[in-house]
Amino acid sequence: MTAVLEAQALGRKYGRRWALRECTIDIPAGHVVGLVGPNGAGKTTLLKLAGGQLEPTAGHITVLGGRPGGTPAQLARVGFVAQDTPVYAGLTVAEHLRLGARLNPRWDAAMARERIARLGLVPTQRAGRLSGGERAQLALTLGLAKRPELLILDEPVAALDPLARREFMQGLMEAAVAHKLSVVLSSHLVSDLERTCDYVIVLADSRVQMAGEVDRLLAAHHRLTGPRRDPDRLPAGWHVVSAGHTDRQSTYVVRTDAPIHDPAWTVSRLGLEDLVLAYMEKRTAENRRAAAEVRR
């Protein structure tokens, strides 16, 4: 399947600090992709690189087979909704739509008007007088009416209340299905991604920790609980994501495609949030060990 986004050893540096480094991913088209990680993990940097708003310090990235933001035609193929769902406070809803029509050669005026009417937004209302949820829906409408092949959204629901967040995500999913969009959506709210995304990327410490289709990732990871056992006594094909121990018991999250037959283990499935947290905790533990080695 055609890749919507490819990155090889991608990195971006601000001064002496790497905001993103050694990022290698290959996202197939046709997915709703959740990009998740703690604050400062590099999510916004990766999305701005994909949108052509930043240039890489290292490596390279292609979006829809071309250089991000390289030409007006390339820009027209990608929609971007920034973290603060930006709209112009002094412009009315209708003026936003007219501005969108002037700036975007593939603009779908009929779809924009229909969506605004369905949402109950008043065309003469200034954006500065809209609620947070209404401004987010207006920003999403502008992104969708551009008729992109890829829609990028950076934490679009972070400031919304639960009801507005649910309505926004529902509208996004309906549009993705109706218009066969590829979507890359960043969020630190894993519960939202679990309901909407079929592909996930975990960023932590400026690096990719995990990437793939959600169903396959969940099928390949297991939580094991049993008598205390050190990691070096586990089967060679098991990749340990996280480990916890008491005097008598061990709990592991492992990745393996092989069946687990050892009766000593109690095996349970993981939800997406549990899996994401396991990879984030793994990176945190690795950083602590590295810092301890440096102090020695």
Q: What is the pLDDT of residues 154-175, one digit of tens each?
A: 988 877 888 888 898 999 999 9
At 19, the pLDDT band (50, 70, 90 cuts) reads very high
- Token pair, residue 149, equals 């092949």
Q: What tens digit of pLDDT does each residue of 90-104 get?
A: 999 999 999 999 999
Q: What is the 8-class DSSP label of residue 74?
A: H
Place of tokens 């993705």: 176
291 pLDDT exceeds 70? no
Q: Which of 183, 204, 225 is the last residue of a domain?
A: 204
Is 289 contained in some domain?
yes
At 284, the pLDDT band (50, 70, 90 cuts) reads low
Res 35: pLDDT: 95
Is 162 contained in some domain?
yes
249 pLDDT exceeds 80? yes
Res 160: pLDDT: 84
293 pLDDT exceeds 70? no
| Contact (CB, 8 A) for 255 and 221 | yes
Res 289: pLDDT: 55
Clarify whether residues 23 and 152 are in a common domain: yes
Is 210 contained in some domain?
no
E strand residue ranges, the chain: 3-14, 17-28, 32-36, 58-63, 78-81, 150-154, 182-186, 199-204, 207-213, 221-227, 239-245, 249-255, 266-268
Q: Which of 204, 238, 272 is the last residue of a domain?
A: 204
Clarify whether residues 11 and 60 are in a common domain: yes
Is 78 contained in some domain?
yes
Clarify whether residues 160 and 191 are in a common domain: yes
Clarify whether residues 242 and 278 are in a common domain: yes
Is 211 contained in some domain?
no
Is 274 contained in some domain?
yes
Clarify whether residues 275 and 200 are in a common domain: no
Clarify whether residues 198 and 225 are in a common domain: no
Is 41 contained in some domain?
yes
Clarify whether residues 242 and 277 are in a common domain: yes
Q: What tens digit of pLDDT does each residue of 171-197 get?
A: 999 999 998 999 999 987 888 888 889
290 pLDDT exceeds 90? no
Mean pLDDT of 46-62: 95
Q: Cα(139)–Cα(160) distance, rounded to whole angstroms?
A: 13
Contacts with 108 (C-beta within 8 Å, 6 or more apart), sequence order:
144, 145, 146, 147
Res 82: pLDDT: 87
The amino acid that residue 132 corresponds to is G
Using DSSP bridges, classify how beta strands 199-204 and 239-245 pair: parallel, antiparallel or unpaired. Answer: unpaired
Q: Structural domain tally of the chain?
A: 2
202 pLDDT exceeds 60? yes
Clarify whether residues 179 and 246 are in a common domain: no
Clarify whether residues 14 and 132 are in a common domain: yes
At 262, the pLDDT band (50, 70, 90 cuts) reads very high
Q: Cα(80)–Cα(146) distance, rounded to whole angstroms?
A: 10
Q: Which of 154, 174, 204 is the last residue of a domain?
A: 204
Is 209 contained in some domain?
no
292 pLDDT exceeds 80? no
Mean of per-residue pLDDT scores for the chain: 90
160 compared with 274, residue with greater pLDDT: 274
Clarify whether residues 190 and 255 are in a common domain: no
| Contact (CB, 8 A) for 63 and 101 | no
Clarify whether residues 148 and 279 are in a common domain: no
Task: Tell me which residue range forms the domain holding 126.
Answer: 3-204
68 pLDDT exceeds 50? yes
At 34, the pLDDT band (50, 70, 90 cuts) reads very high
H or E stretch including 173? Answer: helix 162-179
Q: What tens digit of pLDDT does each residue of 105-139 get?
A: 999 999 999 999 999 999 999 999 999 999 999 99
- Token pair, residue 73, equals 């035609």
Q: Cα(175)–Cα(194) distance, rounded to whole angstroms?
A: 18
Could you give the 3-state DSSP secondary structure of residue 191?
A: helix
| Contact (CB, 8 A) for 252 and 232 | no
* 156 burial via Cβ count (<10 Å: 0-12, 13-18, 19+): buried
The amino acid that residue 142 corresponds to is L
CATH of residue 101's domain is 3.40.50.300
* 19 burial via Cβ count (<10 Å: 0-12, 13-18, 19+): buried
Clarify whether residues 35 and 112 are in a common domain: yes
Res 296: pLDDT: 56
